[in-house]
């Protein structure tokens, strides 16, 4: 068996094609483009690269972007103050706080300063609650991108056993909630899980999101399973041992070119969603 490779670039392009059309509707309704504001603290080169990439994608999708860079010496209070200003700015539709942040900054406090209606990256507790309870809100972008990939390749999670390796609040935990909402049976695994190979071997869907290169071995993969690698480590290496896993899986995401493109596409999609809501609210006030 040789796995079919999931083309995240193609799926992302489909999301962005629809987003461009909807962005034009927003511009006509509001008299301005939908706007994503990014907040970056410190001088991490990778974070600067990601912010530039997102700004470029905004332009190609017909959105405006505003970058706000704070020095690495900034306190939590400084970061929170900026985010609160952006939250109250009617010309900003979505806010992205680039992470990780410097260790002395309370990342959770910074996230919680984002107004719920502008949390287009899905990082606040309100967004997690919405994902868990199935109410209106924004989804964490990487988990939402993963669901787009499954749908694009006709993978129906209903009744399947999904094993999520990783429990971060913006990736592992929310992707499990989204899979559960689609009637999968979800098992969470993590660094203290006993007998991880056995649990992975029982999975119909494996989501690797632990941030450790090639932690998930190809020999663990159940023949015919769907493997989604949400890890990205130095050297373009994911969390799954790709070559051997591809020999056993039916579908597998590459690194890069799998989950990453859909993450950015969902971010822009949700920014346009937020702008649409702003336009609807403005129309209701007139």
* Alpha carbon 281 to chain centroid, angstroms: 26
Instruction: From residue 281, give the alpha-carbon distance in Å to each of 7, 78, 268.
Output: 37, 30, 20
> Active-site residue among 64, 93, 98, 118?
98
Longest dimension (CA), the chain: 62
93 is catalytic: no
Provide the 8-state DSSP code for 139.
P
> Active-site residue among 54, 118, 173, 222?
54
Provide the 8-state DSSP code for 257.
T
Which contiguous run of DSSP H or E holds residue 174? helix 172-181
Q: Which one, of 52, 54, 88, 3, lies nearest residue 271 by Cα? A: 54
> Which residue in this structure is represented by tokens 């200003």?
85
> Active-site residue among 64, 93, 119, 121?
121
Both structure tokens of 118: 């502008």
> Which residue in this structure is represented by tokens 């600067």?
48
121 is catalytic: yes
DSSP letters spanning 93-104: -EEEE-SSPPTT
Which residues are marked as active site?
54, 98, 121
């Amino acid at each position: 068996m040789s796995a079919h490779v999931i083309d995240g670039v193609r799926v992302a392009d489909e999301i962005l094609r629809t987003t461009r059309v909807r962005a034009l509707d927003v511009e006509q309704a509001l008299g301005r483009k939908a706007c994503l504001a990014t907040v970056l603290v410190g001088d991490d080169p990778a974070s600067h690269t990601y912010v530039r990439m997102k700004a470029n994608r905004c332009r190609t999708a017909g959105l405006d972007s505003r970058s706000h860079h704070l020095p690495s010496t900034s306190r939590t209070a400084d970061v929170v103050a900026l985010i609160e200003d952006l939250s109250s700015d009617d010309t900003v539709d979505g806010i992205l706080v680039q992470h990780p942040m410097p260790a002395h900054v309370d990342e959770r406090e910074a996230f919680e300063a984002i107004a719920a209606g502008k949390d287009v990256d899905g990082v606040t507790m309100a967004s997690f609650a919405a994902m868990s309870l199935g109410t209106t809100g924004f989804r964490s972008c990487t988990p939402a991108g993963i669901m787009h990939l499954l749908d694009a390749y006709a993978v129906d999670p209903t009744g399947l056993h999904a094993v999520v390796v990783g429990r971060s609040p913006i990736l592992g935990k929310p992707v499990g909630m989204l899979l559960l909402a689609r009637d999968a049976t979800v098992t969470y695994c993590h660094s203290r899980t006993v007998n991880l190979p056995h649990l992975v071997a029982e999975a119909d869907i494996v989501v690797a999101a632990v941030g450790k290169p090639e932690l998930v071995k190809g020999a663990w993969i159940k023949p015919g399973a769907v493997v989604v690698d949400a890890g990205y480590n130095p050297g373009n290496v994911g969390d799954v041992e790709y070559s051997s896993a591809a020999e056993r899986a039916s579908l597998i995401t590459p690194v890069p070119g799998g989950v990453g493109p859909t993450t950015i596409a969902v971010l822009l999609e949700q920014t346009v969603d937020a702008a649409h809501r702003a336009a609807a609210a403005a129309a209701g006030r007139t």
